[in-house]
Amino acid sequence: MQIPGKLKSGDEIRIIAPSRSACILSEEGIQMAKERLQQLGFTVSFGRHVFEKDLQNSTSIEQRVEDLHDAFSDKQVKGILSVIGGFNSNELLPYIDYELIKKNPKIFCGFSDITATANAITAKTGMVTYSGPHFSSFQMVKGQEYQTHFFTQCLMQDTPFELKPSSQWSDDAWYLDQENRNFEETSWKTYQAGTAAGTLWGGNLCTLNLLQGTDYMPNLENAVLFVEDDEMTIPETFARDLTSLLQTVKSLKALVIGRFQRTSNISEEQLLFILDKHPILKGIPVLYDVDFGHTQPMFTFPIGGEVLVDASAEELKLVRF
């Protein structure tokens, strides 16, 4: 895998909208996110079509692909962040110039619906991409310290490091109310003990599954798989989606599951019931309730990077990213 150059103070980060556009963000929120990135030493620029919108608060395929290509072509741009997630970034995949990206490797980061774009880029180019905060994520006040710490650890340095559990987590709609937040204590949990190392793939489960049967689906054989899902899932759909993904592989190195949102009703009892169905998970390390996905705060991880999983000690270490 090709590791794009790490970010450094003074670098330009381009904000693009492969899915929903910035039209759904408030002017105050946009300014807060921009200022926080500037405080980290970055210069922030925006794609040409980021603030436009159509009937689904996105823009045309052509406009989104143009902004993506412009960001990778611009020699001044060193990193690319998605505005936010959504539902339609997979529309772009047949129209992306993967050779252009391969010739101009740089940081590409986002999560949720951006899972489709990021995994496709890595699968087609061999360049590591990143599952981590959107531009809009930097609006968040409480919980930002943890999120920013691992964002900079992963994207601004290359020394192997451990991903640590957050001290507390929240499932609040923080973007509606930054003050009245409810936080709970955290702990990562072990379903199956053991250690494993390997190439990391994954992100949002239902979005990753959109790639099945296409030329953009990564080869998950002997991978370390990170998956999570959002408030739109329920136990039955998560079970179905996980089953579908596990049926694409003969062997996995490890499985790491992000923490679920409360409205999904995927309790620990439900999750263990789902995991117990799969013999493939009885012989590999499996961790769950881990700090990535749609609860806050979240860490950043490399799609196509190398990770060490120690489920016995409930530890994760990024080795090559």
Proportion of the chain above pLDDT 70, given as a percent: 100
pLDDT at 236: 98
- Confidence bin at 197 (pLDDT 50/70/90): very high
CATH fold, domain 12-159, is: Rossmann fold (3.40.50)
Closest by CA to 18, choosing from 71, 84, 100, 79, is 84
Give the model confidence (pLDDT) of 212-258 as tens digits: 999 999 999 999 999 999 999 999 999 999 999 999 999 999 999 99
Total number of residues shown for the chain: 321
Give the model confidence (pLDDT) of 254-301 as tens digits: 999 999 999 999 999 999 999 999 999 999 999 999 999 999 999 999
- Confidence bin at 185 (pLDDT 50/70/90): very high
In angstroms, the CA 264 to CA 115 distance is 20
294 in active site: yes
pLDDT at 265: 96
Domain 162-320: CATH superfamily, name plus number = LD-carboxypeptidase A C-terminal domain-like (3.50.30.60)
pLDDT at 227: 98
Catalytic residue among 136, 166, 228, 264: 228
Catalytic residue among 21, 58, 294, 306: 294
- Confidence bin at 189 (pLDDT 50/70/90): very high
In angstroms, the CA 71 to CA 16 distance is 8
In angstroms, the CA 226 to CA 161 distance is 17
Q: What is the 3-state secondary structure (H, E, C) of the chain?
A: CECCCCCCCCCEEEEECCCCCHHHCCHHHHHHHHHHHHHCCCEEEECCCCCCCCCCCCCCHHHHHHHHHHHHHCCCEEEEEECCCCCCHHHHHHHCCHHHHHHCCCEEEECCCHHHHHHHHHHHHCECEEECCCCHHHHCCCCHHHHHHHHHHHHHCCCCEEECCCCEEECCCCCCCCCCCCCEECCCEEEECCEEEEEEEEEEHHHHHHHCCCCCCCCCCCEEEEEECCCCCCHHHHHHHHHHHHCCCCCEEEEEEECCCHHHCCCHHHHHHHHCCCHHHHCCCEEEEECCCCCECCCCEEECCEEEEECCCCEEEEEEC
66 in active site: no
Residue 207 φ/ψ, nearest 5 degrees = -75, -40
pLDDT at 73: 98
- Confidence bin at 305 (pLDDT 50/70/90): very high
pLDDT at 1: 96
Q: Output the pTM of the full model.
A: 0.97
112 in active site: yes
Give the model confidence (pLDDT) of 60-111 as tens digits: 999 999 999 999 999 999 999 999 999 999 999 999 999 999 999 999 999 9
Q: Domain map of the chain by residue range?
A: 12-159, 162-320
pLDDT at 43: 98
The mean pLDDT value of the chain amounts to 97
- Confidence bin at 27 (pLDDT 50/70/90): very high
Catalytic residue among 112, 131, 137, 166: 112
